[in-house]
Amino acid sequence: MVWWPFRKKRVGLVLGGGVARGIAHVGVIRVLKEAGVPIDLVVGTSSGSMIGAALAAGLEQRLIEEIALRIKWGEFFKFAFFRPGLASAEAIEEFVVKYIGDLRFVDLKVPFATVATDLRSGNRVVIREGRIAKAVAASATFPGFFAPEEFHGRHLIDGGIVGNVPVDTARELGADYVIASDAVPDRTVKAVPSDPLQMLGRALDMVLKRLSTAEAHRADVLIELDMEEDIWHLDFHKARKLITAGEVAAHRVINKVKRDLGLR
């Protein structure tokens, strides 16, 4: 391949997992769009794959924000009988179909991939074909709570375990310039967790942050949340605050992005 110095960079947007905190990606996307940043490829993990699927499907920003503000935790709970999990991943599939449609990867406006974890081997699985709802569910099935999702003969669980901010995957899929949005806040919290779920969530955050830091920093631009208050995994009712936090985080780096991409 002949190298040409003025070749347009292929921009990849990586949206990390973080349960409710993934809603912050909506604010990040708004800032990128307002700045005219082209998005040529989207890669998502867990809740980041839900937002990424909506973006790749071509939903208007206004609709994506409306969906984020309507999300209720109960929508994701559907009992799993005789399976290794409290809830079935079918609830995630139904959510995606309800708000995005029963699309396949070939129907998307922007190339998109989700990251999941193979339960047997522990390897990263990048999904780029089939039904979007099934792929998103596979990426977002947190082990223990959700039963594993069966996909193409594999049993898959949450992609955050092997790639919570999958920058390397975006590179492998052809992104020359990677913008990564990490929905797991800074390692410090302002208050000690007050209930068992918050305590579990805090422990999970520390593990995911440690596992994903090196890969996340291989992005050309890393967007990290710095929230004024502790917002926990199931705080879907704080969607508006999360969107604002995403906007603030994106504004901190948007001038660098515009310079790097030659945007006015």
Digit-coded pLDDT (tens) for 97-114 = 999 999 999 999 999 999
Asked whether residue 2 carries a pLDDT value surpassing 60, the answer given is no
pLDDT confidence of residue 80: 38
What is the average per-residue pLDDT within 215-238? 88
What is the average per-residue pLDDT within 121-131? 96
Asked whether residue 92 carries a pLDDT value surpassing 90, the answer given is no
Over the stretch 59-85, which tens digit does the pLDDT of each residue have? Answer: 999 999 998 888 876 555 443 333 444
* 195 a catalytic residue: no
* 212 a catalytic residue: no
What is the residue-averaged pLDDT of the chain?
A: 87
pLDDT confidence of residue 81: 38
Least confident of 37-51, 106-120, 220-234: 220-234
pLDDT confidence of residue 148: 81
Over the stretch 149-205, which tens digit does the pLDDT of each residue have? Answer: 888 888 899 999 999 999 999 999 999 999 999 998 866 777 787 777 777 778 777
What is the average per-residue pLDDT within 201-223? 88
Least confident of 74-88, 122-136, 138-152, 205-219: 74-88
User: What is the C-alpha separation between 236 and 74, in angstroms, rounded?
Assistant: 10
**Nearest 5°: phi and psi at 191?**
-145, 150
**Nearest 5°: phi and psi at 145?**
-85, -55
pLDDT confidence of residue 76: 55
Rg for the chain, CA atoms, rounded:
17
What is the average per-residue pLDDT within 5-28? 89
Asked whether residue 236 carries a pLDDT value surpassing 70, the answer given is yes
DSSP letter for each residue of the chain: ----TTPPP-EEEEE---GGGGGHHHHHHHHHHHTT----EEEEETHHHHHHHHHHTT--HHHHHHHHHH--GGGG--B-TTSSEEE-THHHHHHHHHHT-S-BGGG-SS-EEEEEEETTT--EEEE-SSBHHHHHHHHT--BEEEPPEEETTEEEEETHHHHSS-HHHHHHTT-SEEEEEE-S--S--SS---SHHHHHHHHHHHHHHHHHHHHHTTSSEEEE---SS---TT-GGGHHHHHHHHHHHHHTTHHHHHHHHT--
Q: Which of 49, 118, 158, 205 is catalytic?
A: 158
Amino acid at 78: K
What number of other Cβ atoms are within 10 A of residue 207's Cβ?
Answer: 14
User: What is the C-alpha separation between 22 and 225, in angstroms, rounded?
Assistant: 10
User: What is the C-alpha separation between 115 and 162, in angstroms, rounded?
Assistant: 8
Indicate the burial class of 176 (C-beta count within 10 angstroms; 0-12, 13-18, 19 or more): middle
pLDDT confidence of residue 73: 62
pTM for this prediction: 0.91
Q: Which of 46, 139, 181, 212 is catalytic?
A: 46
Asked whether residue 147 carries a pLDDT value surpassing 50, the answer given is yes
